[in-house]
Structure 1
Amino acid sequence: MDKLKHWETFLIGLLLCIGLAGCTVVQETVSPSDSKGVMTKNQVLNLSTSHPLTTLDTDKMSQFGRLNNTIEGLFSATGDGQTELALAKKVTLNKSRTTYTFTLWKDSYWSNGDLITANDFVYSWQRALTPQTKAPDADLFVGIHNARKILDGRLPATQLGVSAPSKFKLVVHLDHPMAELPQRLTYPLFGPQNERIAEKFGKRYGTKPQYQVYAGPFMVASTGNTKQHWHMVPNPHYWDREHVYLSRINVNVYHNLKKSWHAYQSGKLDEVRLWSQSNMKYYEKQAAYTARPYSKMVLLAYRTTGKNTTINQLLLQKTARLAISHAVNRQKLARASYGSTSLPAQGIVPAGLSRGQRGTADFAAAQPNQKTVAYQPKQAKKEWQTALKSAGVKHVTLSVSYLDAIYSAKLARKLKQQLESTLPGLTIKLKSRGWTVDEQAGPLEADLTILTQRAQYADPLAMLALYTRSSTANLGHWSNQTYDNLVAEASNATSFSTHRWQTLLKADGVLMAQQGVTPLLQPASTYLINPKLNGVQYNTVGTQSNFKEAYFVK
C-alpha cells in the first residue's frame, strides 16, 4: 500500500470513527518510496532567516519556523492540511466523544535516547498552561477539561484533563466534543517535553541546544552555532530515521536582503525570498520560482482603551471601523506591499484553510458580509463624517503601529496614504515596533495596530475563536455576545456537519458586520528554490516547511 492509499484508508477510518459511538483507529506503518538512486552525495540544505535563534523552548514560541522539524506530536499534518497519526499508534473515542484515549508507539525515543512516554505529553501540556510559562498560544488548549479555568487562574495546571494511566496510554478529557481536535493536535505546542531534562536544567532549559532534547526528525546541533548561524542534524533516535535523507540543515541569519540574494546566486543558499516586484515578475516563469500561500491574515486591531477618551469614543463606533475598512483598496494595498500573488481579504478566514464536507466549498469564498471589506470610498467618507460628528470632533490623529520589517513597512505607508486621502480630517502617525518571540502578546500600544494572525490548525474555528471575549489573542477586546455564542456552539459540535459549517459562517458574518477587527490581505510568499531539492512538504497551515523526507537529486 503506497503512502497516499494509506492516508485515504486512515481518513475514511477516522471519519467513520467520528460518526460512531466509540471506536479505534489504528495507523498502519508505511514506508515511503525512496529515491536513493538519484540522490546526490551531498545532502546539505542551506536556508536563511531574518531572526536569530532565541529559544528552543516550545512553550516560549509564537512562531516555530524551521524548528518545527525538531518537534513531533500525537498527530502530524499532511500537505493538504489533513492529519495522520504520528507518535500515537491508535486513538479511541468514547460514546459522547469527550474522551480520547491514545496508545503510543513503544519504540519512539528522544534525541538523547530516552523513551517517549505518555507522561511526556502530560508534563508538556500542564507546563504550557502554568502562569510561570505563559505560552503565547495557550488558548489552543481551551476545550480540554479545565483548561479555561486554569488560564483564568481558578485552578492549577495539574487539574488539566489529561492523564497517563500507563507508560504508553494517554487519556484526554474534553469539556465538550471538539470535532477539530486532531487538527489542533498537529500544532507543535501539543508535542511532548522531556520532564527529566526540563527539571535537570531548570531555568537553562531550552536556552541553548545543549539544554534541550528533540522528538522530531532533526535536532539542533549543540556545537558550531553563533548569533548569525545555527544548524540541525538528523535525530539519531528518531523512529523513522531511515527516511530522513538530509545530513544537515544550515540556517543562516541575514539582516541584509542583498547579502541573502548574493548568497543564493553564488550557491550558498538553496532558497531565497523574493522581495521586489520586479524580481517576482522576472523570475515567475522559471523552474526555481514558487509562490507559497499560507493560512494567515494581515489585519487591523483597534485600541479602544487608550489614554485619549475622544479616540476611544470614535473607535468604539462600528461606523468608524466600517469607514476605515471601506477606505482600504485591498488589491492595491497587497500589490504595493506583499506582491501580486497575495490575496485581498474576503473576511477573517484565509482562502484555502477549510472546505465543506464535499470538498468543494472554500469557507473564505463563502464568507458573508464581504461588502464590509470592499473598497467603497464614497460610503467610507459618509461613515467617517458620521463617526466624527458623534465623537464631537472634526479632525483626529490616529497612531498606526507596524512591525519593523520590509513588507509591514510598505503596507503601513500605503495604508496611511489610502486612509488619509479618503477619510476627511484624518491624520495617520506611523509607529514601528521591533520583533519579539511573543510578538502579539500585547497590550496594543497604538490606536490601530497592523498584526499578522496565523491559523494554527485547518479549521475556520482557528481564526474565529481568536476574537471571543475570553481570547488572549483578542488584543482590541472587541466583544459581542451573539458572536461568542455562535463560536461556542461550533466549538461544541460533535462532527464536521453542515450545521456546524453554517454556524461558523454566521459567526464570521457578525464579526465582519461589526468590524471587530479589519482584515486586510492574505500574504503569499514568493521564493526561488533550488530545483534539485525534492520531497519537501509545504504546509498552508500550522508550521510551514517539513524537511523530514527532503533530498537533493543529481
Structure 2
Amino acid sequence: MKKKLLSVMLASVLAMSMIGCGSSAVSGVTETETTESTDSAQSTDAAQSADATSAEPAGEGSGEDLNVMLETPVESLDPQQATDGTSFEVIADYTDGLMQMDADGQAVNAIAESVDISDDGLTYTFHLRADANWSNGDPVTANDFVFAWQRAVDPEIASEYSYMLSDIGQIVNAQDVIDGAKDKSELGVTAVDDKTLEVKLNVPVSYFLSLMYFPTFYPVNEAFYESVGDTFATSPETTLSNGAFVLDDYQPAATAIHLTKNENYYDAAKVKLAGLNYQVIQDSQQALMSYQNGDLDTTLVNGEQVDQVKDDPAFAAIGAGYMWYISPNIKEVKELDNLNIRYAITMALNREAITTDVLKDGSAPTYTSVPMDFAAGPDGSDFSADQTMFSDYCKYDAAAAADYWAKGLEELGITELNLTMIHDADDAPIKVAQVVKEQLETTLPGLTVDLQQMPKKERVERMQEGEFEIALTRWGPDYADPMTYLGMWVTNNSNNYGFWSNAEYDKIIDECTTGETAMDPAARWAALYDAEKIVMEEAVIFPLYTQCNAELISTSVSGIEFHPVALNRVYKNAVKN
C-alpha cells in the first residue's frame, strides 16, 4: 500500500531550531544559526519571534522592488551547473522544484501537488500540479524533471553536484551513469505521464524530500533548452521561469540583476514584491553607504561596521550555515602530508580571536568538521553540539602547536617552510586571511604564509585542479544531514580539495549510504561520528568558524526567510511597506 501525502512535511530529518546568532530580532527575519551566546534563553526568544513574523508577512506591501546586496557575483544560472550559494539563491527566485522550503525549513509542496511514498521507501511518485507553467506558456511536465536530472548525471555535462543524485539521493543507476557505465536514459526517474513523475531509489533516504528544493533537482524545459543551445541560462532571453519571479536583466559577471514578479505564477497571490533588484557590491563600506542612502533595503556589515550599527533596530545577526575552514593540499604538497605539520597549523589558529576581534558578526568558533545547529539526530540532538569532542586534534594551543611544528620540521629535515594561501577577494576573507597569516607566522617559527587573493570563481577552480598549497574556503549545507559535509572527503569526491584518501573512512561512509547501517538511524548516527573522528584525527581540514551574517534590513521590510541549509534567503513571502 502507498501512503498519500497531500502536504508533505519532512519529519525524519530536522534542521535545528534557531537559537540565536545574536540577540537582535528584525521584523521578518528568521535567526537560523547558533553561536556562543551569553544569554541563550533571550536568543531563543528572539529567534522564535523572528520566525513568527517571517511566516506571516504583514500587510499587502507597496508593490516595490526589494533592493538586495550580493557580496559575490553569480557564477552560473544553469541549475545543474551552479555550485555557489549566490547562484542558487537567484535561480530559486525564478524556479520552483518539486518541493519548497517553508519558513521553518521544512519541505512543502511546490510543483508537486502530492507525493506517494511506497512502504519500503524506495519509490516516490510525484503528482504535478496542473496550473504550473513556464514563462513561455508551456506547462511544467514530468519530462522537465527527467531531462534535468539526466543532465545532472550526464558525464558530458560533468556537474559537480552529480553526487547529489548518486551518493546522496541514491537514485537507481545514478552512479553508473556518472561513471559512463550506463546511458543517462537508464537513470531511475520516469515520466509516467505529463503530470506524474516516478523516482526509484537504491535504499531509503530519510531526507529525500528535502533534496527536492535544492537547485540541482530543478526542472529544465527540454525543447527550450535545445532551442538556445550553449547560451542556456546566460541571459533573460535564454532563461525560463516557473517561479515567483521572472529574470529580466542579467548577463554573466553582471553587477546588477533584476527580476520582476511573475504574474502567471500559480501562487502569484502570495507574492507582494514588484521585483528583486540585486546589486553586487564587494566593498563593505560602499555597501553600507548605499544602504544609508536608501539604494539598498538589505546589506551585510562586518568588522568595525558592526560596532557602528549594532544598536540600530534594523540590525540582525542571522545564521548563514556556512562553515569556513582552511584546506591543505595533502596530496600535492609533501610538507602538508606530514601529520605533525597539519596538527601544528590547526592548533596555532586562535578561532575565538578571529570571530570576536575581526568578524564581530556573531560567527562561532568551530572545532569540528561538521558545523553546529543544522542537523538533528534520531533523538533530536545537534550533531555538533559538543565542540570539545576532538580537542586532542583541534583546538587553540600555541605551545602544543610549536611542539608539533618542531617535530614536523625535524621529520622533514627542514628548518623553515613557505606556504601560499589563496582566498577570495571579498572583505571578510581578506581580513580573516590576514589574521590567519599573523597567527601562524607568530606561533610557528620558520613559517612564512604568502597571501594570494582572487575572485571566488578562480579560487574554486584552482582548488578543483589542485593548484594550491593551502586555501581559505567555505561550505554551506545542502540538506539537513551531516553527510552534506562528511561526504566531501570520500576518495575522489569533486569537493575533496585536499585530495585526501582513507579506505576505512570510505567504507564507513559507504555503509551509511547503501549498507545495513543506512537502515538504522541510531547506528548510522554513531557511524557518522566514527567517520568524523577520522577526519579530525587526520587533520584533513582546519575548521575556523561557522558563519553568521550581520545584516541591516530596513524596518519597512518583512517576510524574508533565512535558512542555514540549501537556500539561505527566500523572498517569495517578503513584503516592503
TM-score of the superposed pair, with normalisation by structure 1 = 0.88
Q: How far off is 1:326 after superposition?
A: 0.9
RCO comparison, higher one (Cα < 8 Å, 6+): 2
Tell me the matched-pair count.
523
1:327 aligns with 2:348: yes
* Contact kept? 2:259, 2:276, Cα under 8 Å: yes
Cα-to-partner distance string for 1:157-190 (whole Å, 9 max, x where unaligned): 2322211121111111222222222222221111
Determine if contact 1:254/1:260 at 8 Å carries over to the other structure: yes
* 1:20 matched residue in structure 2: none
Q: Which amino acid aligns with 2:466?
A: L
C-alpha distance in 2, partners of 1:437/1:119? 35
- Specify which of 208, 212, 217 is matched with residue 181 of structure 1: 208
1:41-86, Cα deviation, whole Å (9 max, x unpaired):
3432111224445543222311223332112111222333332222
- 1:111 and 2:139 matched: no
Structure-to-structure mapping, 1:97-496, within 5 angstroms: 97-142=121-166, 143-221=170-248, 227-277=254-304, 279-306=305-332, 311-312=333-334, 314-359=335-380, 361-366=381-386, 368-436=389-457, 439=460, 442-492=464-514
Paired AA for residue 451 in structure 1? T
Tell me the C-alpha RMSD between the 2 structures. Answer: 2.6
Q: Secondary structure of the equivalent of 2:316?
A: strand
Which residue is equivalent to 2:36?
A: none
Task: Tell me, yes or no, if the aligned pair for 1:338 and 1:524 is still in contact at 8 Å.
Answer: no
* Partner amino acid, structure 2, of 1:544: N
CA shift at 1:281, angstroms?
A: 2.2
Distance 1:248 1:96 in 2: 43
Percent of aligned positions with the same letter in both sequences? 27
8 Å CA contact 2:361, 2:549 repeated in 1: no
The worse-fitting range, judged by mean Cα deviation, of 343-352 and 483-492 is 483-492
Q: Label 1:35 to 1:523 Cα distance change in 2 as closer, same or farther (>3 A).
A: closer
Instruction: Please name the residue that 1:94 is paired with.
Output: 118
Q: CA deviation at 1:225?
A: 11
CA separation in 2, counterparts of 1:412 and 1:33?
38
Relative to the length of structure 2, the TM-score reads: 0.85
2:253, 2:451 → 1: CA distance? Answer: 34
Deviations 1:425-449 (A, max 9, x none): 2221222222228935612322111
- Structure 1 stretch displaced more, 426-435 or 453-462: 426-435
Asked whether the 8 Å contact 1:331–1:344 carries over to 2, the reply is yes
Secondary structure in 1 aligned to 2:352? helix
Cα gap change, 1:98 to 1:105, in 2 (>3 Å):
same
Aligned partners of 1:81 and 1:458 also within 8 Å: no
Aligned residue type for 1:502: A
Change (3 A) 1:390 1:255: closer
Deviations 1:479-506 (A, max 9, x none): 1122222222222355672222212122
C-alpha contact 1:144 1:172 (8 A) present in aligned 2 = yes
Letter in 2 for 1:499: A
Q: Any conservation in 2 of the 1:97–1:494 contact (CA below 8 Å)? A: no
Deviation at 1:194, TM superposition (A): 0.7
CA contact (8 A) 2:69 2:299 kept: yes
Q: Which amino acid aligns with 2:464?
A: G
**Is the counterpart of residue 535 in structure 1 residue 559 in structure 2?**
yes
CA distance in structure 2 between the partners assigned to 1:340 and 1:246 by the alignment: 28
Partners in 1 of 2:498 and 2:391 — Cα distance?
21
* Residues 357-384 of structure 1 deviation map (CA, whole Å, 9 limit, x = unaligned): 343x211114632442210111111112
